[in-house]
Amino acid sequence: MIFLARRLAFYFAAFFLAITFNFLIPRLMPGDPSDRIIASFQGRLNESQVAAIRQSYGLEGSLWEQYLTYVGSVFRLDFGISTVQFPEPTASLLFYGATWTLVLVGLAIALAFTIGSIMGIHAAWNRGGFFDSFFTPINVMMNAFTPAIVALVLFYAFSLQLRWFPLGRAHDPNLMAAFNFQFIGSVLYHATLPVLSIFLVSFGGWHLGMRNVMINLLNDDFVILARAKGLSDNRVKYRYVARNAILPQITSLALSVGYMLGGALVTEQVFNYPGLGKFTFTAIGSRDYSFIQGQLLLLTTAVLVANLLSDIANVILDPRLRKG
Amino acid sequence: MKTIRAIALLSVGVTALAVTAPTMAQDQVILRLLPYHTDAMVENYNPNNPTGPQQRMRDFAYEPLWIDNIWHPGENEEALAVGWEIGEDLKSITYKLREGVKWSDGEDFNADDVVFSFEYAKAHPDYPMGIDVYNGETGNVVSAEKIDELTVKFNLNEPDALARYGLNGLYPLPEHVWSGVDDPKNYANLEVVATGPWTKPANFSRNGHDLCRNELSRYNDENAIDCLRFPQMNGNEQTVAALSAGDLDWLGDGLTDPDVTFLPQSEFNNYWLPAGSDVNLQLNTTKAPFDNLEFRKAMTVAIDRQTLLDISTFGLTTATKFPIGTGEMYNTWYDEAALEPYKALMEYNPEEAIAILDAAGFVDADGDGWRDNPDGSPIAFGISMPSGWTDWVNTGQTVAENLQDIGVNASLKTVDQGAWFDAVPRGDFDVYVMWTNGGPTPYNQYSPMFNPRLMVEGQIDFQAMHQMQIPEVEAALDVFKGSADEATQKAALTDIHKAVAENLPVISLFANPIWYEYSTRRFSGWVTEDDQKFRPQVHDGTRERVWHALALKPIDGAEF
C-alpha cells in the first residue's frame, strides 16, 4: 500500500510538471496561431483587421495570466477551440483522432505483443533450434526497419499496384458509424495494412525481449526443481518461466500503451488514417496551441495512467512487491 | 502455428466481408474535387472562414460581384453584377446588378444585400470577407449607397481607378439571413442560402461532404453536374493515388516530377502547369554588401537560371525574361523594346560577375579565399529557406553554389517554417527566396513591394523585404492608380519596370507554376494548353473556377 501511495504522489508531481511543459513548449516555438491565418491573406489585410484577428485567434494577457487560465481549464477539462479547424472545439477533434488511434495502434500493439512474446517463448525454449536460429535474426532485422519504409512499400504494393486494399481512410466513407457487421468489417479491412505496417516493425522487439529474459531464467534453480518434480514441459514453460519473464515485458507494454496516444504519424500520413499523430503534426506546423496542449495532456495522462496500471499489475503478478 | 492459421483465416474472412459490402447506388453526376488538404472535414459552410470552408463555399455556392478574367481581361466577366462605371472624378464606382437573381431560399437578390454586406464587413474586422473592400491599400472605400433596387454606388476617399478590383471580389451575403448573425467568425452557417450553382450541403461526415444543385440557380440549363464532392484528404501520396483510382477528378497539388510520379499512374491522368507569379530573391538592402548596386548586379549575372529551371525546380517553372520582378503572367503589360537593354542582367555570366566585383572593390582582403567588402569587413551570408520546401531549397542551394563560384561566401540556411515566417517582420535576415503577390493587374504586385509603410521594422512585409524606397516607382504607382486609361497605366508601368531593372531591389529568378491536375475518366471540357479559356486552378482565389466546373460535361458511359 505504501508502495502505491508513494507512486501516486510521484505521479501527481509528474503530472503537474508535464502540464507546465505542455503549456510552455508550444509557446517557445516561433510564430503564433494567428500568423498562418494572416499570412494566407498575403498582405491584403489592414492593421485593424490584423489586430482583430490576432485578438480572436491568439491569446490575450501575459504569459502568466495565460498559464493560470490554462491550468484552470485543464481541471475543468476544457480544451479550447482549434485554430486549424476554426471554430471546432479541440475536444471533439481529439476524441475523433484518439478513437482511430486506439483502433490502429491498439490492434497493432496487441498483435505485436501477443505474437512477439509467443515467438520469444518458443525461441528461448528451443534455443539454438531451427525456430530460434531462423526467426530470431529475421525478427530482429524486421525490428530495425523504419515504419516509413514498411508503410510506403505496403501502400505501393497492396493499395496502388495490386489494389487489394483501400488507399486510405478508416472506413468506407459511404458507411455511417454503427455497431454492425458491415461497418466493423470495413474498419478492419481499412486497418489491415496500417496495422500490419506497425506490427511488422514492432513484434521483433517483443520477441527479442521475451527470449532474452526467458533464457536467463531457464537455468535458475526453481526451473530445474520444477523439471525434477516431473512437471509437464508446457507447465514449466508457461506457468514457471514465462510468468516470471513477462514482468519486464509488462512494464514495456505499459509504456507503449501510454505512448500509443502519441499516434503513429508516418503510418497515419501514408494511409490517410485519421489518427492523433496526423492531427498533431498539422497542429504543430500551424501553431494550434489548444490542440497541441490537449494532445500533450492526453499523452501525459495516458503514460502516467499506464505506468500506474503496470505498477499495480506488477504488484499482483509479483508477490515480492506486496510487502512494499 | 495454429494461431497463425487462425489469424490468416480471420483476415481473409474480413477482407471477403468488406469486398462484398454493397456500394451505394448513384445515378447523380458527381464532380470530385480537392481545393485544400485537411485531416478532418468540419461541418462549417461559412464562406469567409479561411481555415477551409471558404475553399468549398466561395464561387460554387456564394458568387462574387464580378469575376476578373485574368487571362482574357474584359471577356465574359459578369457575375452578380452585370456592369460597372467609374465616376468622372475617380471617386466612386457604380455597379449594375443582375436582374432576376434569387437566393436559394426564394428571396430576391438586390442592392440591399450588397450594401448590407459592405456594412457588415466594416462592422466585423475580425471576419475578413471581401478583403480588399475597406483595405487602406487598394480600397479606401468609405460608403456604399443604394441607388435603386439593382444599382449600388461605392464612394471612395480619394481618386482610385483600381478600387473596383477590390470590390469585384466581394461575395454578397443574404441580408435576411446574416442580419441575425452577431458573431460571424464563429458561425457555422449550416443552412446555406446563396445564389451559385451548388448550394445544398449533403452527406456530411469527417470524410467529406457533397454540395448539390441549387434548383433556383440561373446556371441550371448548362450545369451538367448534380453535386460537387469534397473529400477529406491530406498528403500527396493520397491525392495522386485518389486521382489515379477515380476518387478525384480535379486537383491542384504541387507535385515533384509529375511525369514520373503522376502521369504513368493512370491513362486518365493529365496535368498542365501554366506560368504563375514570379519568384525572386529578396535581399536585405539595409545591410552590406546588399546595399551596393554593383554587388546586386554581380549577383544577378552570377546565377545560372537554366539550372534553376531544369534541375532545381524539376522543369516545372517558367523562365523570366527581364530583371523586373514579374514575368510571363503579365506579359501583355511589357514594353519589350524599352526593356531590351536590361535583358543581359538575366543571362548567366560568371566572368562578368567577377569583373563587376573586382571593379567595385569586392576583393579578398584578408586572404581567407572569400571576397570581402570594399571596407575590408568580411562577407558571409545565408540564403534562408523553410526546410521541406524542396524546390526552393534546391534553388537556394544552386544560388549559393553560383555565388561561391565567384568567390562570395554564401550558404544555404534551412530553418523551420514558423521561424522562417517569423524573422521577416523584424528584418532579421540576409537573403530569402520569396513569392510575389498575384492580382488582376501588375499594380497588385508592385504596390506592396514598394510601399514604404510595409518596410517599417517590426512590420516588414514579405514583398517589401528589400526595404529599398524608390521614389520614382512610388510616383508611377500613383499615376497607375490615378488613371482609368490603359495607355497611361502602361506608360506608368514601363517607368516602374525600368526603375526596378536599374536598381535591382530584388533579383528575378523564375515564375512558379500554376498547379493543375485533372482526370479525363468521367468528364470532358477541361482547360488545356490548347484551350486556354481561363485559369484552371481548383483553389479559392481563382474566381474563374466556377466556369471551369460548369464547363465540364460527363463522358458517355462514365460511372459516378
For testing contact with chain A, the best of B9, B26, B37, B51 (most A CBs within 10 A): B51
A74-83, A124-133, A212-221, B265-274: range with lowest mean pLDDT: A74-83
Joined grid coordinates for residue B141? 472605400
Whether the pLDDT of residue A323 is over 90: the answer is no
Distance of CA B363 to the CA centre of its chain: 42
Q: Give me the architecture of the B10-58+196-274+514-554 domain, per CATH.
A: 3-Layer(aba) Sandwich (3.40)
Contacts of A173 (CB under 8 A, 6+ apart): B205, B207, B208, B231
Torsions phi, psi for B308 (to 5 deg): -60, -45
Q: With an 8 Å Cβ cutoff, are B21 and A169 in contact?
A: no
Best mean pLDDT range from A309-323, B72-86, B160-174, B345-359: B345-359
Residue A312 CB-density burial (10 A; 0-12 exposed, 13-18 middle, 19+ buried): middle
Q: With an 8 Å Cβ cutoff, are B234 and A285 in contact?
A: no
A46-55, A254-263, B43-52, B54-63: range with lowest mean pLDDT: A46-55
Whether the pLDDT of residue A70 is over 70: the answer is yes
Tell me the residues of chain B between 450 and 469 that have a Cβ less than 8 Å away from chain A: 454, 461-463
Residue B491 CB-density burial (10 A; 0-12 exposed, 13-18 middle, 19+ buried): middle
Cβ(B506)–Cβ(B281) under 8 Å?
A: yes
Whether the pLDDT of residue B24 is over 60: the answer is no
Joined grid coordinates for residue A86? 476554426
Whether the pLDDT of residue B229 is over 60: the answer is yes
Cell numbers 488511434 correspond to: A101
H or E segment and range at residue A137? helix A130-144
The string of DSSP codes covering B210-243 is EEEE-TT-TTTTT---SEEEEE---SHHHHHHHH
Q: What are B332-345's pLDDT values in tens digits?
A: 888 999 999 999 99
Q: With an 8 Å Cβ cutoff, are B233 and A168 in contact?
A: yes
Whether the pLDDT of residue B555 is over 70: the answer is yes
Q: How near does any CA of chain A get to the CA of B167, in Å?
A: 13
Pairing outcome for strands B431-435 and B275-283: antiparallel
A25-34, A221-230, B209-218, B317-326: range with lowest mean pLDDT: A25-34
Look at phi and psi of residue B246 and say left if phi exceeds 0, alpha if psi is from -120 to 50, else beta: left
The stretch A41-46 carries a mean pLDDT of: 64
| Cα B269 from Cα B290, distance rounded (Å) | 45
Instruction: Give residue limits of the domains in chain A.
Output: 2-75, 97-323
Contacts of A204 (CB under 8 A, 6+ apart): A116, A138, A139, A140, A141, A142, A143, A144
Cell numbers 472605400 correspond to: B141
Cβ(B436)–Cβ(B278) under 8 Å?
A: yes
Give, in order, the Cα–Cα distances in Å from B370 to each of A231, B350, B403: 81, 15, 10
Helix (H, G, I), strand (E, B) or coil at B199: strand
Pairing outcome for strands B506-513 and B275-283: antiparallel
Whether the pLDDT of residue B206 is over 50: the answer is yes
Helix (H, G, I), strand (E, B) or coil at B288: coil
Identify the pLDDT of residue A256.
85
Give the global pTM.
0.82
| Cα B405 from Cα B409, distance rounded (Å) | 9
Cβ(B424)–Cβ(B430) under 8 Å?
A: no
Average pLDDT score, chain A: 85
A235-239, B14-18, B488-492: range with lowest mean pLDDT: B14-18
Identify the pLDDT of residue A77.
82
CB contacts, 8 Å: B135 with chain A: 44-46, 49
Distance of CA B184 to the CA centre of its chain: 25
Identify the pLDDT of residue A252.
87
Which has the higher per-residue pLDDT, B21 or A105? A105
Cβ(B35)–Cβ(B56) under 8 Å?
A: yes
SS3 content of chain A, % helix, strand, coil (to 5): 75, 0, 25
Identify the pLDDT of residue B226.
96
Joined grid coordinates for residue B327? 514575368
| Cα B263 from Cα B249, distance rounded (Å) | 14
Assign a CATH topology to domain B81-178: Dipeptide-binding Protein; domain 1 (3.90.76)
pLDDT more than 90, % of chain A: 21
Nearest by CB to A189, from B18, B247, B423: name it: B18
Q: How near does any CA of chain B get to the CA of A124, in Å?
A: 17
Work out the pLDDT band at B23, boundaries 50, 70, 90: very low
pLDDT more than 70, % of chain B: 94
Q: With an 8 Å Cβ cutoff, are A52 and B125 in contact?
A: yes
H or E segment and range at residue A305? helix A289-317
CB contacts, 8 Å: B38 with chain A: 85
Which has the higher per-residue pLDDT, B5 or B307? B307
Nearest to B318 by CA among B511, B466, B155: B511
Tell me the residues of chain B between 117 and 156 that have a Cβ less than 8 Å away from chain A: 125-126, 128, 131-132, 134-137
> With an 8 Å Cβ cutoff, is B291 touching chain A?
no
Identify the pLDDT of residue A73.
84
Q: Give me the architecture of the A97-323 domain, per CATH.
A: Orthogonal Bundle (1.10)
Q: With an 8 Å Cβ cutoff, are A52 and B23 in contact?
A: no
Whether the pLDDT of residue B5 is over 60: the answer is no
Nearest by CB to A56, from B18, B185, B461: name it: B185
pLDDT more than 90, % of chain B: 64
- End-to-end CA distance of chain B: give it in Å, rounded: 45
| Cα B447 from Cα B140, distance rounded (Å) | 15
Helix axes A90-125, A276-285, angle to 10 degrees: 130
Nearest by CB to B21, from A41, A48, A185: name it: A185
Nearest by CB to A41, from B15, B51, B131: name it: B131
Helix (H, G, I), strand (E, B) or coil at B278: strand
Assign a CATH topology to domain B275-512: Dipeptide-binding Protein; domain 3 (3.10.105)
Q: What are B149-159's pLDDT values in tens digits?
A: 999 999 988 88
Alpha helices in B58-107 (DSSP H): none
Which has the higher per-residue pLDDT, B500 or A223? B500
Cβ(B152)–Cβ(B145) under 8 Å?
A: yes
Cβ(A119)–Cβ(A207) under 8 Å?
A: yes
Identify the pLDDT of residue A57.
65
H or E segment and range at residue B419? helix B417-426
Instruction: Give residue limits of the domains in chain B.
Output: 10-58+196-274+514-554, 81-178, 275-512
Torsions phi, psi for B280 (to 5 deg): -125, 165
Cell numbers 489515379 correspond to: B244
Torsions phi, psi for B148 (to 5 deg): -145, -170
Q: How near does any CA of chain A get to the CA of B38, in Å?
A: 9
Joined grid coordinates for residue B133? 473592400
| Cα A227 from Cα A240, distance rounded (Å) | 10
Instruction: Count the alpha carbons within 13 Å of B257 in the hemisphere toward its beta carbon.
Output: 6
Q: How near does any CA of chain A get to the CA of B425, in Å?
A: 11
Nearest to B404 by CA among B484, B440, B350: B350
Nearest by CB to A31, from B128, B232, B422: name it: B422
Helix axes B471-481, B486-503, angle to 10 degrees: 160
CB contacts, 8 Å: B24 with chain A: 174
> With an 8 Å Cβ cutoff, is B485 touching chain A?
no
The stretch A246-257 carries a mean pLDDT of: 86
Within a 10 A sphere around the Cβ of B525, how many other Cβ atoms? 17
Contacts of A200 (CB under 8 A, 6+ apart): A142, A145, A150
Average pLDDT score, chain B: 89
The string of DSSP codes covering A157-206 is IIIIIS--S-SSSSS-TTSPP-SSHHHHHHHHHHHHHHHHHHHHHHHHHH
How far is it between the farthest Cα atoms of chain B? 90
Joined grid coordinates for residue B441? 493587374
Nearest to B194 by CA among B176, B210, B182: B176
Q: How near does any CA of chain B get to the CA of A267, in Å?
A: 12
Contacts of B12 (CB under 8 A, 6+ apart): none
Q: What is the side-by-side order of every strand in the sheet holding B506-513?
A: B318-319, B506-513, B275-283, B431-435, B381-386, B410-415
The stretch B256-284 carries a mean pLDDT of: 91
Whether the pLDDT of residue B10 is over 60: the answer is no
Nearest to A33 by CA among A307, A310, A207, A288: A288
Within a 10 A sphere around the Cβ of A146, how many other Cβ atoms? 10
H or E segment and range at residue B32? strand B30-34
Cβ(B371)–Cβ(B408) under 8 Å?
A: yes
| Cα A296 from Cα A23, distance rounded (Å) | 9
Q: How near does any CA of chain B get to the CA of A160, in Å?
A: 7
Helix axes A90-125, A181-218, angle to 10 degrees: 40
| Cα B274 from Cα B511, distance rounded (Å) | 9
Q: With an 8 Å Cβ cutoff, are A55 and B126 in contact?
A: yes
Query: What are residue B151's DSSP bridge partners?
Result: B96, B148
Q: What are A5-38's pLDDT values in tens digits?
A: 888 888 889 888 888 988 888 888 777 777 766 7
Nearest to B507 by CA among B416, B409, B398: B398
Whether the pLDDT of residue A119 is over 90: the answer is yes
Identify the pLDDT of residue B257.
81
The stretch B441-452 carries a mean pLDDT of: 90
The stretch B544-548 carries a mean pLDDT of: 96
- What number is the ipTM of this complex? 0.76
